[in-house]
């Protein structure tokens, strides 16, 4: 993340960092998940105000009040310090073994300097994968580490409820990111960058934030141009909290955003990646009137500054863009504390109230209407911490949805400029070519003797005869001889065998190849895992259930396996002493009793052509 060299309000100085690092040798540690790292990074960088600290006013003259919104024309966007709260009296850190005792009258090193802001912070040790959460006790200190074991912060525990660890936090350093460091800004660094570009001045409006959980299409760019024409810079905030830098989809999204913004010539627009979790439904035109610009004012709640949003219709940005069947928006929408029911508590009374998100919260759990309202309230707080004057959430109403876009790409249909900029279309087509040019896995599942291997080998021959696909056969027996040698037939070993096949198939599919697999794969949950692995690789997955009845399979018994199972020689055998869970999500069901192998394979080929995986 780009910084201005400053120590943010929640990062200690070098001397304190060295002191905490030395003391941490005796502390318990929690390795944070990717999502938890993003939450911590946002907090430590100053991108989200602690509970007891007001959002920075960035130079506004005098305290804001409900009657006087913070003026976007005031000299914002100059680095300003967050006001420090009253001194605190923290518990001491015990000296390291072998260190001299504290001199009389001199207390041992305390976990926080007296002047230091002491925000409450909560982390879920269960979400972090930490076992035996009961070993953490109030009064102790926990080292918060990344996946490589680097200590990022010290959490001085004040309360432990279940696996929720609450206390005051001291940051040592921000997480490091190998991807797009030039696009990651702390709030102070973003202010400095905009000043360097000459985009902010005392008489200029404060910038507007445009949240981009998905892509930017032509309608979105039209809205950005309208916002820019109204004055002030536009900062496109791309939530990337929890993103895997090795995930090709993450890089595709950032390339598309960069390509989209590069088409704007008359707008002062900047792309910034922020450590906030993207929300699936905020990639669609569904929530909170995405045609609405939410403008901010600062009000007080019980004497403590808090955020409230004042949503006004963005007339220039939304003219003629009302979505069908929905009335125009323009009414007030509160995005403050009570909006949308974001409770924010993490199980402990020491949590941050509405300021603390639930660490490790799953994206799907945040797709309900109340949760989405809470997400807007949360992002309002983030924008206030960064110093924006307004924000938009969600795409423009006429922007294409992900499903419609994917359908066009699957068919190889050209994406017109009226839908998405040509540069973005080129990136999408390169990443998601038509189905007939993408990787594919066909997995045959069924009992031993059902005909899986026969059909798989015939399918491989037919595909190779066509000559338009590179094909790999992963037959169950062959895989057990090489890839899974040494595995037995317990449920655990069977699962491991199928998952290994799935991993190889996903790897083949990811590079555009075709994997044809023929394991028994008796368990439904593992078949689902394989489907997910393959589809996440960017290719297609077709499950073929060879539903030959057990009595027919046993009558065939060319290998004598059923006879051995009945005799007890093979202790666990699918269909005899171990269950076969028939799939309910099969794309194709074949009964080889009534169909010849040739006809069965023609059924599979017909399905692949109909769904676009094979060219006509």
Residue 192: C-alpha distances to residues 189, 196, 258, 559 (Å): 5, 6, 21, 74
Q: What is the mean pLDDT of residues 300-304?
A: 38
Q: What is the mean pLDDT of residues 162-185?
A: 93
- What would the 3-class secondary structure string for 80-117 be? CCCCCCCCCCCCCCCCCCCCCCCCCCCCCCCCCCCCCC
Q: Which of 386, 389, 385, 391 is nearest to 53 (CA)?
A: 385
Task: Please tell me the predicted confidence (pLDDT) of residue 479.
Answer: 83
Same structural domain, 394 and 406? no
Decide if 1 is inside a domain.
no
Same structural domain, 388 and 413? no
Specify the CATH number for the domain of residue 471. Answer: 3.40.50.300
* Number of domains, the chain: 4
Same structural domain, 563 and 447? yes
Same structural domain, 410 and 528? no
Specify the CATH number for the domain of residue 161. Answer: 3.10.400
Say which residue, 365 or 555, is predicted with more confidence. Answer: 555
Decide if 616 is inside a domain.
no
Decide if 390 is inside a domain.
yes
Decide if 179 is inside a domain.
no
pLDDT-wise least confident of 133-142, 434-443, 501-510: 133-142
Position 243 confidence tier, pLDDT thresholds 50, 70, 90? very high
Same structural domain, 425 and 449? no
- CA–CA gap between residue 210 and residue 399 (Å, rounded): 14
Same structural domain, 146 and 226? no
Q: What is the mean pLDDT of residues 350-365?
A: 35
Task: Please tell me the predicted confidence (pLDDT) of residue 362.
Answer: 38
Decide if 176 is inside a domain.
no
Decide if 2 is inside a domain.
no
For residue 156, give its domain range: 14-171
Position 368 confidence tier, pLDDT thresholds 50, 70, 90? low
Decide if 5 is inside a domain.
no
Same structural domain, 407 and 448? no
Task: Please tell me the predicted confidence (pLDDT) of residue 88.
Answer: 28
Query: What pLDDT, in 10s, does the model give residues 139-165?
Result: 999 999 999 999 999 999 999 988 889
- CA–CA gap between residue 45 and residue 184 (Å, rounded): 11
- CA–CA gap between residue 218 and residue 591 (Å, rounded): 49
Judged on CB neighbours under 10 Å (0-12, 13-18, 19+), 546 is buried
pLDDT-wise least confident of 160-169, 195-204, 313-322, 383-392: 313-322
Residues in a beta bridge with 211? 237
Same structural domain, 235 and 377? yes
Position 48 confidence tier, pLDDT thresholds 50, 70, 90? confident
Same structural domain, 410 and 360? no
Q: Can you list the pairs that 492-501 forms with residues at least 24 positions away whose Cβ atoms lie under 8 Å?
A: 494/520, 494/522, 494/523, 494/526, 495/523, 495/526, 498/523, 498/526, 498/527, 498/530, 499/526, 499/529, 499/530, 501/474, 501/476, 501/530
Q: How far is CA 239 from the centre of its chain?
A: 8
Same structural domain, 574 and 483? yes
Decide if 345 is inside a domain.
yes
Query: What pLDDT, in 10s, does the model give residues 272-290?
Result: 999 999 987 777 654 444 4
- CA–CA gap between residue 70 and residue 508 (Å, rounded): 56
Same structural domain, 388 and 446? no
pLDDT-wise least confident of 85-89, 363-367, 424-428, 498-502: 85-89
Final residue before a domain boundary, out of 171, 202, 227: 171
Final residue before a domain boundary, out of 171, 199, 220: 171
Same structural domain, 371 and 443? no
DSSP designation for 76:
-
Q: Which of 559, 562, 549 is nearest to 592 (CA)?
A: 549
Query: What pLDDT, in 10s, does the model give residues 201-235?
Result: 777 778 999 999 999 999 999 999 999 988 789 99
């Amino acid at each position: 993340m780009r910084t201005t060299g400053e120590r943010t309000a929640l990062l200690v100085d070098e001397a304190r960092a060295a002191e905490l690092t030395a003391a941490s040798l005796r502390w318990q540690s929690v390795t944070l998940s990717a999502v938890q790292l993003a939450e911590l990074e946002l907090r430590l960088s100053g991108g989200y105000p602690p509970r007891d600290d007001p959002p920075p006013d960035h130079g506004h003259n005098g305290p804001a009040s409900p009657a006087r919104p913070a003026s976007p024309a005031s000299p914002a966007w100059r680095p300003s310090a967050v006001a420090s709260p009253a001194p605190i009296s923290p518990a001491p850190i015990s000296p390291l073994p072998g260190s001299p005792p504290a001199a009389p009258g001199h207390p041992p090193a305390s976990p926080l300097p007296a002047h230091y802001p002491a925000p409450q912070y909560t982390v879920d040790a269960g979400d972090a994968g930490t076992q035996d959460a009961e070993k953490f006790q109030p009064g102790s200190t926990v080292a918060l580490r990344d996946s490589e074991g680097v200590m990022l912060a010290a959490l001085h525990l004040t309360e432990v409820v279940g696996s929720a660890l609450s206390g005051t936090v001291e940051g040592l350093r921000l997480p490091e990111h190998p991807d797009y460091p030039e696009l990651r800004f702390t709030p102070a660094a973003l202010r400095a960058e905009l000043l360097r570009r000459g985009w902010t001045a005392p008489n200029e409006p404060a910038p507007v934030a445009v949240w981009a959980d998905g892509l930017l299409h032509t309608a979105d760019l039209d809205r950005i141009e309208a916002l820019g024409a109204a004055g002030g810079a536009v900062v496109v905030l791309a939530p990337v909290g929890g993103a895997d830098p090795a995930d090709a989809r993450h890089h595709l999204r950032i390339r598309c955003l960069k390509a989209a913004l590069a088409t704007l010539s008359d707008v002062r627009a900047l792309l910034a990646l922020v450590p906030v979790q993207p929300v699936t439904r905020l990639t669609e035109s569904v929530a909170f009137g995405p045609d609405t610009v939410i403008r901010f004012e600062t009000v007080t709640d019980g004497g403590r500054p808090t955020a409230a949003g004042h949503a006004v219709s963005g007339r220039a940005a939304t003219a003629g863009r009302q979505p069908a069947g929905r009335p125009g928006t323009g009414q007030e929408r509160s995005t403050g504390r009570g909006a949308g029911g974001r409770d924010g508590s993490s199980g402990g009374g020491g949590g941050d109230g509405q300021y603390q998100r639930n660490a490790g919260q799953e994206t799907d759990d945040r797709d309900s209407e109340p949760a989405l309202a809470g997400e807007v309230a949360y992002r309002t707080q983030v924008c206030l911490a960064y110093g924006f004057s307004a924000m938009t959430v969600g795409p423009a109403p006429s922007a294409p949805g992900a499903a419609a876009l994917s359908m066009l790409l699957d068919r190889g249909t050209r994406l017109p400029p009226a839908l998405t900029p040509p540069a973005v279309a080129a990136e999408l087509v390169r990443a998601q070519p038509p189905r007939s040019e993408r990787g594919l896995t066909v997995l045959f599942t069924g009992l031993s003797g059902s005909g899986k291997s026969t059909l798989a080998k015939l399918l491989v021959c037919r595909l190779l005869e066509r000559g338009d696909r590179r094909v790999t056969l992963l037959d169950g027996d062959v895989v057990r001889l090489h890839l899974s040698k040494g595995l037995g037939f317990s449920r655990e070993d069977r699962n491991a065998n199928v998952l290994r096949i799935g991993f190889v198939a996903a790897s083949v599919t990811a590079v555009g190849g075709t994997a044809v697999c023929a394991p028994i794969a008796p368990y439904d949950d593992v078949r689902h895992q394989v489907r997910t692995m393959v589809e996440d690789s960017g290719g297609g997955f077709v499950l073929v259930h060879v539903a030959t009845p057990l009595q027919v399979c046993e009558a065939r018994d060319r290998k004598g396996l059923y006879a051995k199972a009945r005799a007890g020689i093979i202790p666990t055998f699918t269909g005899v002493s171990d269950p076969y869970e028939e799939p309910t999500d099969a794309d194709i069901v074949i009964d080889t009793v009534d169909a010849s192998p040739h006809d069965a394979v023609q059924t599979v080929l017909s399905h692949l052509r109909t769904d676009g995986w094979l060219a006509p």
